[in-house]
């Protein structure tokens, strides 16, 4: 049902973004991938999805502007690129703070401001922002990530209100822990920050948060993104959808 729609999914060479791109492609959308990685692997993904790829660094405003110019106009915008860093606030590296704010929050502002004119003009558009359970609740040692994701929720609600009468919706999807490189890579720092073993981090920090006691699957996020693109979801806007195994219900 998405034939003729062009979807840009930022951070889609891995993890959740890739699953969202695959799900939108399966419904017929034309896909623009974005993100870093091995060139031959990216070429394979482009082939699999009949997609174009932009290597734009989403912390770089000029690169975002060039990507939107080259690959626009965009009908479905999925702001998904993100990164994490785990450290106590007084030791939190300033450059990591700035990068996480730019990538997890600033990039969405830029893509949205550049995508909205076309969406408004055609009277249809979908903006889907991958936030996090950490857009609703906090955990220690994640100052930049929690601040950026709370900000992304606020950005999404504001945009939803501005576009409410235009046929364009804006929503957040907020996963709990999804088994992707982003989660795997934070295990060593979390072991250090909390003085725990790997197994303790997995069970007592990560899965302890999720009453279902299982990681969210990237495909579960893809399926929700597809639903948000349906006509039946036209009145769903400004919402922040948890897919977190009950984490934020506690």
- Which residues are known to be catalytic? 145
Query: Contact letters (x/-) for ligand NAD, 120-149, by CB under 6 A?
Result: ----------x-x-----------------
Shortest reach from residue 196's CB to ligand NAD, in Å: 18
**Of positions 177, 186, 224, 245, contacts ligand NAD by CB under 6 A:** 177
Decide if residue 222 touches ligand NAD (CB under 6 A).
no
Q: Which CB sits closer to ligand NAD, 35 or 125? A: 35
Decide if residue 245 touches ligand NAD (CB under 6 A).
no
What is the CA 68 to chain-centroid distance, rounded? 17
H or E element at residue 171: strand 168-175
Q: Within 10 A of 224 (CB to CB), how many other CB atoms are there? A: 18
Q: Are 7 and 78 in contact (CB under 8 A)?
A: yes
Residue 173 tokens, joined: 């999807």
Decide if residue 16 touches ligand NAD (CB under 6 A).
yes
| DSSP string for 177-189 | -B-SHHHHTTHHH
Among the listed ranges 12-20, 70-78, 117-125, 227-235, the one in contact with ligand NAD (CB under 6 A) is: 12-20
Decide if residue 152 touches ligand NAD (CB under 6 A).
no
Cα(143)–Cα(101) distance, integer angstroms: 10
Decide if residue 193 touches ligand NAD (CB under 6 A).
no
Span between the terminal Cα atoms of the chain, in Å: 37
Among the listed ranges 40-48, 75-83, 89-97, 163-171, the one in contact with ligand NAD (CB under 6 A) is: 75-83
Cα(75)–Cα(127) distance, integer angstroms: 8
Decide if residue 8 touches ligand NAD (CB under 6 A).
no
**Of positions 59, 171, 210, 242, contacts ligand NAD by CB under 6 A:** 59
Q: Is 10 helix (H, G, I), strand (E, B) or coil?
A: coil
Decide if residue 183 touches ligand NAD (CB under 6 A).
yes
Cα(125)–Cα(163) distance, integer angstroms: 10
H or E element at residue 62: helix 61-71
Residue ranges that bind ligand NAD, judged by CB under 6 A:
11-17, 34-37, 57-59, 80-83, 103-104, 130, 132, 175, 177-178, 180-183
């Amino acid at each position: 049902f998405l034939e003729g729609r062009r979807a840009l999914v930022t951070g889609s060479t891995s993890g959740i973004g890739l699953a969202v791109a695959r799900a939108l492609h399966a419904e017929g959308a034309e896909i623009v991938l974005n993100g870093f990685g091995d060139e031959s692997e990216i070429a394979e993904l482009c082939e699999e999805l009949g997609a174009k790829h932009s290597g734009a660094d989403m912390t770089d405003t000029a690169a975002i502007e060039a990507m939107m110019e080259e690959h626009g106009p965009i009908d479905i915008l999925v702001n998904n690129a993100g990164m994490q860093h785990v450290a106590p606030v007084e030791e939190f590296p300033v450059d990591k703070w700035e990068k996480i704010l730019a990538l997890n929050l600033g990039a969405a502002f830029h893509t949205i401001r550049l995508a909205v004119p076309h969406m408004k003009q055609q009277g249809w558009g979908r903006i889907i922002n991958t936030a996090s359970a950490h857009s609703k609740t906090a955990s220690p040692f994640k100052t930049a990530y929690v601040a950026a994701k709370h900000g992304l929720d606020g950005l999404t609600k504001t945009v939803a209100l501005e576009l409410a009468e235009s046929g364009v919706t804006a929503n957040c999807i907020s996963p709990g822990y999804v088994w992707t490189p982003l989660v795997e890579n934070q295990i060593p720092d979390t072991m250090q920050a909390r003085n725990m073993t790997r197994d303790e981090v997995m069970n007592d920090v990560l899965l302890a948060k999720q009453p279902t006691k299982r990681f969210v699957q990237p495909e579960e996020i893809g399926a929700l993104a597809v639903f948000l693109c349906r006509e039946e979801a036209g009145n769903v806007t400004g919402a922040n959808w948890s897919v977190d195994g009950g984490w934020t219900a506690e």
